[in-house]
Chain A
Amino acid sequence: MSDLRTKLEVIAPSVEEALAKGAAELGLPEEAFDVEVLDSGSKGLFGLGSRQVRVRLTVRGQKREARDDAPDAEPPSPEDDEETLRVSHDTVSKLLEHMGLKADVQARWGEISTHSGIRPLLVDIRGKDLSILIGRRGETLTALQYVARLIVGKELRKPLALVIDIEGYRARREQQLRRLAQRLAHQTIERGRTMSLEPMPANERRIIHIELRDHPQVYTESVGERDLRKVTIIPRES
């Protein structure tokens, strides 16, 4: 189980952002972490000499310590898996019903992430006229997913990497962002100077960072705060 990461150190401009970054990294809700501030940073004077905060995030309910050589915990029983599917399905269905929307809801288990060792629970929503539920830049979808995660997590008394998609929006958006990343990386190289993208939410910035992670000629960095945080693509010194 050594690849199941339960601790993570994150450096970011603020504790909130560090938490958001860590949560996006491991695909878990922010509530799933205990936060320990290792360095609370400093604002500096007029932004000069400012130091970012450093926090350690520990996934809650992971009692096994790194040095604990006890056998791995029992895998969840099929009954637990079934219950998780049922509660997730019912929660999302109820939310939609209360919002006055008719749609088909299906819940299934996704593939275990090789990166985090966590198996996401995927909820697909299908139906007519659901663009209102996606919202600008997927913001309403993100809100729906956040609320659903909280409710399901509370009912099952454990954090869950619940991911909601609407009519394949996430997959389409990911393709779009990856193409955008490649196009701008190309322009960055041609012009030999840094390019920035539009501000976007953490999960979208992450797609760009990952897409260009191993690029030989450019690297990426997020700059700006909160709603204005955006990815910049920077040429590597040759």
Chain B
Amino acid sequence: MQDLIEYIAKSLVDDPEQVVVRAHERDKSVRFELTVGEDDMGRVIGRGGRVANATRALLRVAAARSGVRATLDII
């Protein structure tokens, strides 16, 4: 799951080195926090949050495969 978010974010930003994904696990759920460089925020969020929502949709599949629930915040 974490590598999925990392792969998508690093592929879309101009500065992959600033991409950081942190995972906070609690019981059967994981909350991911994605941070990117300030100038790259738009690339991982997208117009109307479209990129973020598409990423979340793919994260849901990855989470289901691992039998957990996962959420993604971009901060």
Contacts and interface: CB of A to CB of B under 8 A. Distances in A.
A99 B58 contact: yes
Interface majority SS on B: helix, strand, loop or mixed?
helix
Interface string A95-132: 10011110000000000000000000000000000001
Give the size category of B's interface with A: 20 to 34
B11 A155 contact: yes
Interface string B30-51: 0000000000000000011011
Contacts, number: 61
Range of interface residues on A (Cβ < 8 Å): 20 to 34
B10 to A, nearest CB: 10
Given A140-B57, A147-B54, A147-B55, A100 B8 contact: no
Given A147-B54, A154-B12, A98 B47 contact: no
A144 interface: yes
B75 to A, nearest CB: 20
A133 B61 contact: yes
A94 B4 CA distance: 9
A176 to B, nearest CB: 22
B19 interface: no
Contacts of A234: none
Contacts of A155: 11
A96 B33 CA distance: 21
Interface of A: 16, 19, 30, 91, 94-95, 98-101, 132-133, 135, 139-140, 142-144, 146-147, 150-151, 154-155
